[in-house]
Amino acid sequence: FSLDAEQPDYDLDSEDEIFVNKLKKRMDISPLQFEEMIDRLEKGSGQQPVSLQEAKLLLKEDDELIREVYEYWIKKRKNCRGPSLIPAVKQEKRDGSSTNDPYVAFRRRTEKMQTRKNRKNDEASYEKMLKLRRDLSRAVTILEMIKRREKSKRELLHLTLEIMEKR
């Protein structure tokens, strides 16, 4: 396997293998080449299958080989009754309409996940914050007054000691 050669999304099934083996007897085709041809037809068609002329432009192979593979592909696609032979992961529609289909692989979240607790910015908590600030500023004022009182007491004590020494 080389890294630059991309593998086709379409995979051969047993029915395809039988067809390729029958076709090999008349024409030169490998299973990988068949997968690539079906893959190009599927990717080029979408909802409606491409015409034989469009298939010839897509495939760029021998006309007889293209016609055989094209007819087989059309028949297989009608039997499949699906929009495509290549399986795809079923996803939620972009419009956001949520169905409870169990086969949908990825769904959008209905509510946003909460990463951390949000603090409530309501009036009660604002009032509590104001009261806390008022109380703290009062405490600071009281502490400053106590500091002044203690300084005054110490100064008074020093003065009293000084007076006692001078007597």
Report the predicted TM-score, pTM, of the whole model to 2 decimal places.
0.52
Is a pLDDT exceeding 90 seen at residue 61? no
pLDDT of residue 84: 72
Pair of tokens at residue 161: 């000691």
Asked if 104 and 91 count as a contact pair (C-beta separation under 8 A), the reply is yes
Q: Give, in order, the Cα–Cα distances in Å from 144 to each of 120, 131, 140, 152.
A: 35, 20, 6, 12
Helix (H, G, I), strand (E, B) or coil at 161: helix
Nearest to 77, CA basis, from 53, 32, 45, 35:
45
106 pairs with which residues across the strands? 91
Q: Where are the alpha helices (DSSP H) in the chain?
A: 14-26, 31-45, 52-59, 63-80, 123-166
Between vectors from CA 68 to CA 67 and to CA 71, what angle results, nearest 5°? 80
79: pLDDT strictly greater than 70: yes
Average pLDDT value over all residues in the chain? 81
Q: Which of 21-35, 39-53, 111-125 has the lowest mean pLDDT?
A: 111-125
Are 74 and 92 within 8 A, CB to CB?
Answer: no
Query: In this predicted model, what pLDDT tens digit does every residue of 80-134 receive, in sequence order?
Result: 766 677 766 666 666 656 667 676 666 666 677 777 666 667 888 889 999 999 9
List of residues 6+ apart from 72 with CB closer than 8 A: 19
Q: Identify the pLDDT of residue 5.
A: 65
**Share above pLDDT 90 across residues of the chain, in percent, rounded to a whole number:** 24
- Interval 131-155 mean pLDDT: 97
Query: For position 56, what pLDDT does the model report?
Result: 78
pLDDT band at 1 (very low <50, low <70, confident <90, very high): very low
What average pLDDT score do residues 43-57 get? 79
Report how far apart, in Å, the C-alpha atoms of 21 and of each of 17, 34, 146 are. 6, 11, 104
Q: What pLDDT shows up at residue 93?
A: 67
Q: How many Cα neighbours within 13 Å face the side chain of 102?
A: 0
